[in-house]
Each structure stands twice: as C-alpha cells, then as structure tokens.
Amino acid sequence: MALFDEFFEQIAEQLGGASVDQIKVIFVLVSSYPAALGLCFIRNPEFRHLYNIALSLFIFLGIFDLIDAVRILCVNSLVVYLILLYIKNHWGPRLVFIFLMAHMSLSHIYRQLYAISVTQYDATGPEMVIVIKLTSFAYCIYDGLKLSLKEVEQKFDEQASESSIWSRQKVITTRIIEESIDIAQYTPRQLKKAVPANKFPSLLEYFGFIFYFPSILVGPAIEFEDYRQWATSSGEFETVPNDIGFKQALSKLWFGFFLIAMSMQFGGRYQISWTLSDEYKKLSLIDRIWFLQMACSCARFKFYIVWLMSEGSMILSGLGYNGNDGRGNIKYDRVVNIDVFGYETADNPRSLIQAWNCQTDKWLKNYVYLRLSPPGQRPTFYTTLITFAICAIWHGFYPGYYFTFISAALFVACHRTLRRNVRPIFITSPYSQFKFGYDLLGWLFSQSINNYICVPFVLLNLPDCLYVWKLNGFYGHVTMMLVFSFFFVFNGSKFCKWIITNESENVEKVEVDAVDAVDDLLAVDDDKETKKVQ
C-alpha cells in the first residue's frame, strides 16, 4: 500500500465522482510546481539528474505504488541504451522503434484483457510517454552519427589532393558510409535536435532525461538535446533571463483549477456514459445531439487539466523557455501540448489536430511520417497509412480508437474536398461579404463532427459506440457521405466552378459598364467645354 492512501481516499469520498488515482495525479502535478522551482536553484547538471530521478521514483513508489512502472521504464531504457551504443547504422533506431512499440502493445493488451478501469493509473501511462522520448532519442543519435560521418567525408575531400593515402582511405570510408549510413538531406529541426556522435550520454544523464519528473506521468515528452542543454545551461539555455516564467506557469495552474471547477459543475450533468441509458433514448434527436456535444466537450476537460498543469511545472523548471519572438518578448512555449482556445475555436480538422496533444503530433510528423519518406520526395499514401497505424497502436487496441481514427481520416478528406471547392466562392466578390458566415458554419461543422467521431474514443467498446451513433442517426457519417456524393457522384465541383466563373464575368461586366459610363460622362463634359470655347 502506497503512502498517504487513506488521505487520498478521504478526499475522493468528499469530492465524489473522482477516483483515488485521479486525485493522486492532480496532487502530484500541483506538488511538482514547488519541486520544479527548486530545479532553478540547482545549477550542477549531475545534481539535476539525481533530483529528477529521486522525485520520479518517489512518485511511482511512494504515491502510486507502481514498481511495475519503474521496472518497465528501467528495462526498456537500458535495452535502448545498449542498442544505440553498439549498433551504429540505420538499424539502431528501427530496432528501438520495433522493440518499444511491441512492448507497449503487450502492456495495452494486458490492460485490456484484465479490464483495468480508465480511471485507474497504471504503467501504460508513463510507458506511452517514454516511447515518444526514446524513439525520438534514437533517431537523434542516428542523425548525429550521420552528421559526424559527413564531416569526416568532407575532411577526406580536403586532404585527398595532398596524399594518395588520404584518397584511398576516403574511398574505403565513403563505401562504408554508403553501405551502412544513408547521408540524407537534413531539415533544420534534425540539425537542431541531433545528438553529436562524440557526446553519447552517460547513464546518469540518460536516466535524468528518462525520469524528468514534471512530465513523467502525463507528458508532454521532451527532446533529449533540449534536456541536455537545459541541464548543462548551454546552447539555447545559456542566457536564460531572470524571468523564469512564474506568471506563465501560474496561469496554467489557475486555468487547470478553473477547468476542475467546470468539470465538477458540468461533468456530472453531462457524462458520456449516460448516452447508453434508457432516458437518453427517450430524448428527441436534436436533444440527443445537443447532449452529445456537451458530454464530449466535458470529457476533454480531464486532458486539458493534466496537460496544462504539467506544462506549467515544466515552465517553472526552466525547460519551457524558448527564446524570444523577435520583438523582445520572451517565449515559454517549448513544451506546449494543448491549445485550449485554438482547439475550441477551430473551424477545420487541421487546426483541431495542431491544437491537440501537440508534442505527440510533432513526434508522429518528425519521427514517423517524414522518416518514412525518401529525402526530397513527397510522402505517399503508404506513408500516411503507416503513420495512422502507429498512432492507433500507440493509443492501444480498443476498437473505439480505430473507429475514431478511421472516421477522422474521412473527416479530413471531407473537409479538404469542401475547402478546395467551396472556399474560393467566399473569397471572391460579391460573396466575400459572407465570409464570416462561411467561417461560422465551418466552425459548427468541424466541432459537431469532431464531437461525434470522438464518441468511440471515450466509450472504447464497439457495441456501445455503434449504439450511440445509431441513436444520433449516424449524423456525422451521413453528412460526410452527402458531401462526397455531391462532389464525386453529382460533379459538385463543376457547379462551384460555374458559380465562381459566372460571378467573375458579372463583376468584369459591371466594371466595364462603370468605365464606359465614366467615359461617356467625360465625353459630355468635353463637348460642353468645346461649345464654350467656340
């Protein structure tokens, strides 16, 4: 039994509706603020690493009694460390990716088979975070290795003209490079995050990165090079201002408390599980859809709360510092994982994706999507499919996840079709005056469809998902099918082009008539002036 369990149980009973583990998570996140503030006064890198490790171990063993989480994180981290230490080619990060995804899949299956409640915190939470950290770390190590070999190749080029020995050595080394390491084109991000080959981390630094306590429970994941520069006060963290972001961190904390109050006020009234009741079935279709919107909105609160609080703690530790915006304003957005305002006001699925779980989205983009594409070539459908599969497996194997992601893919395709064909109508005269209405409808369409397709993500169970969708008339899929039918069956794009072309011709005709009228008026004035002269 973990420490303070009776204390947390009493709080859970008084609040009602919250599990003991949920109370523990909030307690740890709030407590991490003063603990993170202490990191600002520890300047020695080794002490910072030890401080992170000690606090994370206390969280897992003293608060949650999760020795399994410690065992999983330690074993996985050591396996990855050894792989990258001894395999110096492209198979290094690939083996790391396969190993971590396979192990996490087993953890997800175990959780699903034993029907562990979603309100219970177990080892899969930190393991999901560590998968992102370690796979990105593996590719950054590989990038650093490629960059160092590229420098060796350039050195041989400089020396080849002076010595035939250098020339022969260059041929041998170049052959090794071409056979084992593919020297690719580097993006600015790859150059920035690459770990130099001669600076492979020590075990202490490595585990300090793994057990960085402000993000150990719920993320967001961080890049190793960011952690190293922060711990050693070098690179981008060499000249950190005296303002440690106290105001920005507290704003995250207070916003989190506000959302807790909102969740307590409305969460019990709009529970997604109520959609499975007979009372919900008796409501009219409009009332069902309205309740669904509110329930899914309230279901997002718990994600907002933990991510915001975690971000604030990371800002206080100093890792949130991200330079300035060019106008002298300091930025603390290095570890942003959720943009609440951006998500709730998004009028298209792309904005929804960019505002939600931002660090995971960056991981999928930079270490899956772009890594599968050959340098200089556009990603293919195969690339998109693999990225989608990795995202789904990372979340788990509940059918609800896959229904949500497949529906989300249809949603993105649907909106792309609408935007490509309909939007040009409202950015050309005379319909540009209705652009606000178009944006408002886009927001309503995006938010309502998004809430609809996220139902399986919350309910998880396939029969329950289909039942709730059926009670709501499958309105999300019906709407998307109507859009696809209009444009791909009835050639709706031709109709949209006709509107644009027709209105453009009318505008040009009006402009020509206006010019002719002015010319006529000027001609009349010229006649009058001529008569006066005569």
How far is 76 from 98, CA to CA, in rounded Å? 12
Which residues touch 96 (CB under 8 Å, ≥6 apart)?
80, 83, 84, 134, 135, 138
Closest CA to 215 of 396, 84, 1, 35: 35
Residue scoring higher pLDDT (243 or 246): 246
234 and 114 in one domain? Answer: yes
How far is 179 from 409, CA to CA, in rounded Å? 38
* Cβ proximity of 472 and 289 under 8 Å: yes
Say which range, 20-29, 198-207, 236-245, 407-416, has the weakest mean pLDDT.
Answer: 236-245
120 and 233 in one domain? Answer: yes
Token match 């002269």: residue? Answer: 533
Residue scoring higher pLDDT (145 or 216): 216
205 and 67 in one domain? Answer: yes
106 and 227 in one domain? Answer: yes
pLDDT reported for residue 185: 65
Model confidence pLDDT, tens digit, residues 276-323: 999 999 999 999 999 999 999 999 999 999 999 999 999 999 999 998
Q: Is the pLDDT of residue 201 over 70?
A: yes
Q: Is residue 162 part of a domain?
A: yes
Rounded to 5°, the CA angle 4-7-8 comes to: 90
197 and 59 in one domain? Answer: yes
Distances in whole angstroms, Cα of residue 410 to Cα of each of 305, 343, 480, 483: 29, 19, 8, 11
Q: 516 pLDDT band (50/70/90 cuts)?
A: very low
Cβ atoms < 10 Å from Cβ of 33: 20
366 and 225 in one domain? Answer: no
177 and 46 in one domain? Answer: yes
Three-class DSSP category at 332: coil
Q: Is residue 278 part of a domain?
A: no
How far is 187 from 172, CA to CA, in rounded Å? 28
Which residues touch 66 (CB under 8 Å, ≥6 apart)?
60, 121, 122, 123
Domain that holds residue 110: 42-238
Q: Is residue 352 part of a domain?
A: yes
Q: 515 pLDDT band (50/70/90 cuts)?
A: very low
How far is 47 from 39, CA to CA, in rounded Å? 9
DSSP state for residue 365 in the 8-state scheme: I
Which residues are registered as beta bridge partners of 324? 330
238, 273, 308: which is the final residue of a domain?
238
Model confidence pLDDT, tens digit, residues 440-480: 999 999 999 999 999 999 999 999 999 999 999 999 999 99
Q: Is residue 475 part of a domain?
A: yes
Three-class DSSP category at 377: coil
221 and 112 in one domain? Answer: yes
206 and 67 in one domain? Answer: yes
Q: Is residue 156 part of a domain?
A: yes
DSSP state for residue 242 in the 8-state scheme: S
Model confidence pLDDT, tens digit, residues 52-111: 999 999 999 999 999 999 999 999 999 999 999 999 888 999 999 999 999 999 999 999
Q: Is residue 54 part of a domain?
A: yes
DSSP state for residue 147 in the 8-state scheme: H
**Rama region for 491: left / alpha / beta (φ>0; ψ in -120 to 50; rest):** left
Token duo for residue 421:
């064909």
Q: Is the pLDDT of residue 198 over 70?
A: yes
Model confidence pLDDT, tens digit, residues 100-141: 999 999 999 999 998 888 888 999 999 999 999 999 999 999
Q: 514 pLDDT band (50/70/90 cuts)?
A: very low
Q: Is residue 290 part of a domain?
A: no
231 and 377 in one domain? Answer: no
Interval 319-347 mean pLDDT: 90
What percent of the chain has a predicted confidence (pLDDT) above 90?
A: 62
343 and 199 in one domain? Answer: no
Token duo for residue 48:
């910072």
196 and 345 in one domain? Answer: no
pLDDT reported for residue 27: 95
How far is 475 from 481, CA to CA, in rounded Å? 10
How far is 199 from 378, CA to CA, in rounded Å? 33
Q: Is residue 504 part of a domain?
A: no
pLDDT reported for residue 171: 43
Average of per-residue pLDDT values in the chain: 86
Model confidence pLDDT, tens digit, residues 368-400: 988 887 766 777 778 878 888 899 899 999 999
Token duo for residue 230:
């922060």
Residue scoring higher pLDDT (159 or 202): 202
pTM for the structure as a whole: 0.87
Closest CA to 51 of 199, 200, 201, 209: 209
Count of domains in the chain?
Answer: 2
238, 256, 289: which is the final residue of a domain?
238
